[in-house]
Chains A and B, each alone.
Chain A
Amino acid sequence: GAVVSQHPSWVICKSGTSVKIECRSLDFQATTMFWYRQFPKQSLMLMATSNEGSKATYEQGVEKDKFLINHASLTLSTLTVTSAHPEDSSFYICSAYRGPGPTNEKLFFGSGTQLSVL
């Protein structure tokens, strides 16, 4: 099966610091990775689409300077929350796309990162 590893699982940081979250596809190459944000008991909101070797595409209302995304290789994408504030506290989830094909339209998700900003 396809495994996506997300690290860390949880992080607590002080306001004003930056936090980096990693998303790795362990047994396949992911041409595209997605970053979602989820508030308690709510749905996932797509933040941005990360393509290997190019700039991420951000959804409307998501600050690209606040949420820096880097997709340096076909197996790694990172999300950096810069100058984090309490309102950035949330559950962040990444997912990876294996590539086009009749059975490859589903996404494989990391286990998520709970960010708490004090």
Chain B
Amino acid sequence: SQQGEEDPQALSIQEGENATMNCSYKTSINNLQWYRQNSGRGLVHLILIRSNEREKHSGRLRVTLDTSKKSSSLLITASRAADTASYFCATVRGRTGANNLFFGTGTRLTVIP
């Protein structure tokens, strides 16, 4: 990818379980964002975490950021079938702004009803 790697590449879980996806990146960042993509559709922004933040919550989502390890994780709690999608992390390099937003390789999550 242009910026980072995600693992696992694919994840299949039962409804109600938690799903954890990891993202590693290569360069210094201003912020890191997570997006969701349903099959054959555009991306929807989920959550943004800044380089000076370590953890952030939004509903059933929990994101952590470890700048020393250049890694982030996305946790989806109490998963639902509707959470089935691909999830991408994206990083912004350099100055604040949406310039140079590069995406990781993505994790394809399947939640089995």
Contact = CB atoms under 8 A, between A and B. Distances in A.
B35 to A, nearest CB: 8
Which of A32, A41, A49, A106 is most buried by chain B, counting CB atoms within 10 A of its CB? A106
Contacts of A107: 43, 45, 98, 101
Interface size grouping (class) on chain A: 20 to 34
B88 A44 contact: yes
A118 B41 CA distance: 22
A77 to B, nearest CB: 14
B98 A6 contact: no
Interface string A32-62: 1010100001111110010000000001000
Interface string A75-118: 00000000000000001010101001000111111111010000
A6 B41 CA distance: 11
Interface stretch (B59-67, B72-80, B104-112): B104-112
B24 interface: no
A44 B33 contact: no
Given A43-B1, A43-B103, A43-B105, A32 B98 contact: yes
Contact of A114 (B31, B40, B108): B40
Contacts of A110: 42
Interface of B: 1-2, 31, 33, 35, 40-45, 48, 88, 92, 96-106, 108
Which 4 pairs between the two chains have the least Cβ-Cβ distance? A109-B42, A97-B98, A106-B45, A109-B43
